[in-house]
Amino acid sequence: MTKEEIVINAIKALDITSLNSMQNEVIDKWLHNPCDLIVYSPTGSGKTLAFLVPALLSLNTSNDTLQAVIIAPSREIATQTFAVMKKISPLTKTACCYGGHSTAIEKRELESHPMVLVATPGRLLDHINRKNIDLHDLSCLVLDEFDKSLELGFTDEMQQIMALCPSKTRKILTSATHIKEIPKFLSLNNYHTIDHLTNKELKVEDRFDIWNVKSDSDKPNTLVALLHSIPDEQAIIFSSTRECAQEIYNHLLKKKMDVVLYHGTLEQIEREKAVALFSNGTVIVMVATDLAARGLDITTVKHIIHYDLPLTQEIFIHRNGRTARVDSHGDVYLITTPHESLPSFASGCKKYEIMADTPHRMKVSNISTLYISAGRKEKVSRGDVVGFIVSHATMIAASEIGKINIYDHHCLVAVPKDKTAEIIKAVSSFKLKKLKVKVSVAHPRLRFAKPTNR
């Protein structure tokens, strides 16, 4: 496809009006300058689309081999990048590989000769070593959030992968903060830097307000009061440790709040479920560690709450980047006790007063999520799911069905909460694509992960 065809398809699929200045510059430089690119742009500014278009432009569609690889630092970023690619170019064979996912399933997908692969560094190297992947025809390599891959300890894996890439491979590095030193093992070819970190059009800081919420020594209950006082919109509460996140989560459950938990020791299926229930509106409060500060791209998040103060400006930037996505507005709150001082980089912070007579609103959503025990590997599509539900549950129209997440062997489907029981009863005796499936309400079960290959 031509650049124009790819861009038109992307704009339509992502429901945007046009590309921004950063995206246009990245695509133009890729087309007209035979060099590698380093792209600096704020979180939420559309870097994913900026590098996926060059990846698609690099493909020779007459050659049924792997030609573009996108390396992401986490499972969450990998799966979200994969989802965007499938949206903007559904006919392009694309695979996704990451730790915690079945290597057997991934091997079968790789045997179908994808032209584009999205992967985490450890899992990518594992498949290369198993000879499931051949990089001989690789023409485009994207290192998304490259600095984060180094921070997470993937330096050895990255060095080995770079050594196996053909010399002809062009590279794109992306980051939301400046990289102090570009490692020599990347072997960048006369690279060009595109820096939009100060671009007012893209700056997230101009789209959110920062508030200081003063607390006495009882920070958990100050948090509860804050949640009651802000509008019923999606909020992410950040803590610095998994232990603290677990304590906050337990405290909010005791206060009868619907909330999900997201951190690295949860099993991958539970993290996926937490993200699905949060992003589709079933639950509007998430408690998370900084794992979510880079991994989540949910455009409807309105509130960021720093329960633990960010230790660095970089953490502050990435946490805040979860709100005010694209052109939306958000609010950022920092809770401080008398023994804590606001960090110097939290400039322009205003005082937030929690009124003593604030009513206790439980932030209950009118959306519920169905679990259906068949998924991608059973060849189930979104259209299949919608047809299955509306053909047997006559009380719901197709337009009332919300976000549908399809995984390897199950689906999560957002539906009106007041119709959930009726839907389950109506469809339970029928088959989905000739398969007997289990349909139930999806609840996070908080199973904790065992160590896995990254």
* Structural domains of the chain, count: 3
168/291 same-domain check: no
Does any domain span residue 236?
yes
Tell me which of 351, 375, 408 is where a domain ends.
351
Query: Residue 68: which H helix or E strand, with range?
Result: strand 68-71
Tokens standing for residue 91: 């006919």
The number of residues making up the chain comes to 454
CA angle 48, 51, 55 (to 5 degrees): 125
Residue 97 maps to a domain: yes
Quick one: which of 423, 418, 417 has its CA closest to 385? 423
Distance CA(419)–CA(199), nearest Å, equals: 46
Among the three residues 195, 227, 249, which one is the final residue of a domain in this structure? 195
Quote the mean pLDDT of the chain: 90
CATH of the domain at 121: 3.40.50.300
Query: Which residues neighbour 165 within 8 Å (Cβ) at sequence distance 6 or greater?
Result: 135, 138, 141
Q: Report if residue 446 sits inside a domain.
A: no
**Residue that has been written with the tokens 């970190």 in this structure:** 197
Q: Which of 293, 228, 305, 292 is nearest to 266 (CA)?
A: 292
H/E segment holding residue 253: helix 242-254
pLDDT value for 362: 63
Structural domain span for residue 293 = 204-351
- Identify whether residues 135 and 173 lie together within a single domain: yes
What's the CATH code of the domain at 388? 3.30.70.330
Residue 448 placed within a domain: no
Q: Would you say residue 10 has pLDDT above 90?
A: yes
**Averaged over 85-112, what is the pLDDT?**
92
Residue 446 has pLDDT above 80, yes or no: no
| Same domain, yes or no: 140 and 31 | yes
For range 106-120, the mean pLDDT: 95
Q: Is the pTM of this model over 0.85?
A: no
pLDDT confidence band for 206 (50 / 70 / 90): low
- pLDDT for 41-66, tens place per residue? 988 788 999 999 999 999 998 999 99
